[in-house]
Every structure is written in structure tokens, then in C-alpha cells.
């Protein structure tokens, strides 16, 4: 019974967060690491995170866990898009399941000392089975046209969330 409970607790972390590749897009991922989302920028023992990114129209130059990816954002072309995601534990109470639908994203001013012409959009929620929390940030190099939004949604569709419990 203990082995089963342990397996359920680590299930999301047996498959780190990734974006499936696509022509014209770069991808990268951190694998599993200690989370800074739980301990106010200090890793907490037992809390994990997994970050991944995909980018078009820019050479991605930041570590996979960089939130925001300021170095890459300074070079984002007008037709560029960066989609960055992180899964982390534990989950936030009463979190709704994430829906990877750009139309549901909220716009935020971006970023720490780096401006992006198109701004930052964010989706958040819990992963499958409420096993972990997810934040997805979408950065546009210019005001998001229908073509750029379609490009970003294509990237969101390639995000492979870890399984739930």
C-alpha cells in the first residue's frame, strides 16, 4: 500500500513538462527541479517544478526555468512568439483545471525591465487530477494579430502536461 501511495505522489514527476517539436520552433525543458514557486524564490524540500518553453522568431537564450525569459524577450522579433510553462507542486487550494486555450488567457504588463510590444498573456490552473499547478505565459513580439494568435495556440496544443495521480 505504501508503494502505491508513493507512486501516486510522484506520478506527475515521472514525465517532466515538454513541448512537442514543430518546424520553425525551438523547444527546451528543465526536467524536474526543486520548486521556487512554493518557497518565495527559495527551493522547498519535497516541492518540485518542471519548466518548458517553445519559441519562434527568436533564439531562446535563457535557462528553461527563467520567469520571465528576459534575455530572449529583448530579441523577440515582431512576428515572434514565446510560450513558457511551469508545473509545480503542491497545488493551490480550489484550483480549477487548466485549459490550454489562448482565448481564455489574461493579459498582463510585461516584464521585469524588458518591454514586449505584444505583452504577456497568462493561463493558470491545476494539471490532470489536480496533481500539480500549472502556469503558462505567452509573449508576443507585436500586437497579437489573428495569425500570431493562431501560431501561439498551435504551440499551446503541443504542450504535453504530465499525467495526474
Q: Tell me, yes or no, whether 62 lies in a domain.
A: yes
Q: Which three cell numbers stand for residue 165?
A: 495521480
Please indicate, yes or no, if residue 27 is contained in any of the structural domains: yes
Please give the residue that has the higher pLDDT: either 13 or 88.
88
Classify the C-alpha dihedral 133-138-144-149 as positive or negative. Answer: negative
Does residue 7 belong to any structural domain of this protein? no
pLDDT tens, residue by residue, 9-64: 455 677 889 999 999 999 999 988 877 766 555 555 566 889 999 999 999 999 99
Residue 3 located in a structural domain: no
Residue 6 has pLDDT above 50, yes or no: no
**Looking at the domain assignment, is residue 34 inside a domain?**
yes
Dist. CA 46–CA 62, nearest whole Å? 25
| 10 part of a folded domain | no
Q: Please state the domain count of the chain.
A: 1
Domain boundaries, position 112 = 23-160
- What beta strand segments (E) does the chain contain? 18-19, 26-34, 48-56, 81-88, 106-108, 120-126, 133-140, 159-160
The residues pairing with 154 across neighbouring beta strands, listed in sequence order, are: none
Integer Cα distance of 123 and 30 in angstroms = 20
What pLDDT shows up at residue 8?
41
Spell out the residues 6+ positions from residue 164 whose beta carbon is closer than 8 angstroms to its own. 11, 12, 127, 128, 129, 130, 131
Q: Per residue in 102-139, pLDDT tens?
A: 999 999 876 665 777 788 999 999 999 888 899 999 99
Of 35-44, 86-95, 141-150, the one with minimum mean pLDDT is 35-44
Residue 64 falls within a domain, yes or no? Answer: yes
Query: Of 92-96, 125-129, 150-154, which gets the smallest average pLDDT?
Result: 92-96
In this prediction, residues 140-148 reach a mean pLDDT of 94
Local confidence band at 92 (pLDDT 50, 70, 90 cut-offs)? confident
Q: Which residue has the higher pLDDT, 101 or 109?
A: 101
Please check whether residue 113 lies inside any domain of the structure: yes
Q: Are 57 and 38 in contact, with CB atoms under 8 Å apart?
A: no
Amino acid at each position: 500500500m505504501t508503494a502505491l501511495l508513493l507512486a501516486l505522489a510522484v506520478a506527475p514527476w515521472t514525465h517532466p513538462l515538454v513541448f512537442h517539436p514543430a518546424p520553425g520552433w525551438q523547444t527546451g525543458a528543465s526536467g524536474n527541479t526543486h520548486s521556487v514557486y512554493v518557497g518565495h524564490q527559495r527551493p522547498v524540500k519535497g516541492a518540485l517544478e518542471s519548466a518548458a518553453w517553445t519559441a519562434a522568431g527568436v533564439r531562446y537564450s535563457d535557462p528553461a526555468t527563467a520567469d520571465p525569459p528576459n534575455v530572449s524577450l529583448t530579441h523577440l522579433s515582431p512576428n515572434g512568439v514565446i510560450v513558457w510553462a511551469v508545473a509545480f507542486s503542491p497545488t493551490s487550494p480550489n484550483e480549477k483545471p487548466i485549459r490550454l486555450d489562448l482565448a481564455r488567457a489574461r493579459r498582463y504588463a510585461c516584464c521585469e525591465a524588458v518591454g514586449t510590444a505584444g505583452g504577456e498573456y497568462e493561463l493558470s490552473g491545476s494539471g490532470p487530477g489536480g496533481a500539480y499547478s500549472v502556469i503558462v505565459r505567452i509573449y508576443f513580439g507585436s500586437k497579437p494579430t489573428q495569425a500570431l494568435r493562431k501560431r501561439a495556440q498551435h504551440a499551446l496544443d503541443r504542450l504535453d502536461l504530465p499525467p495526474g495521480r
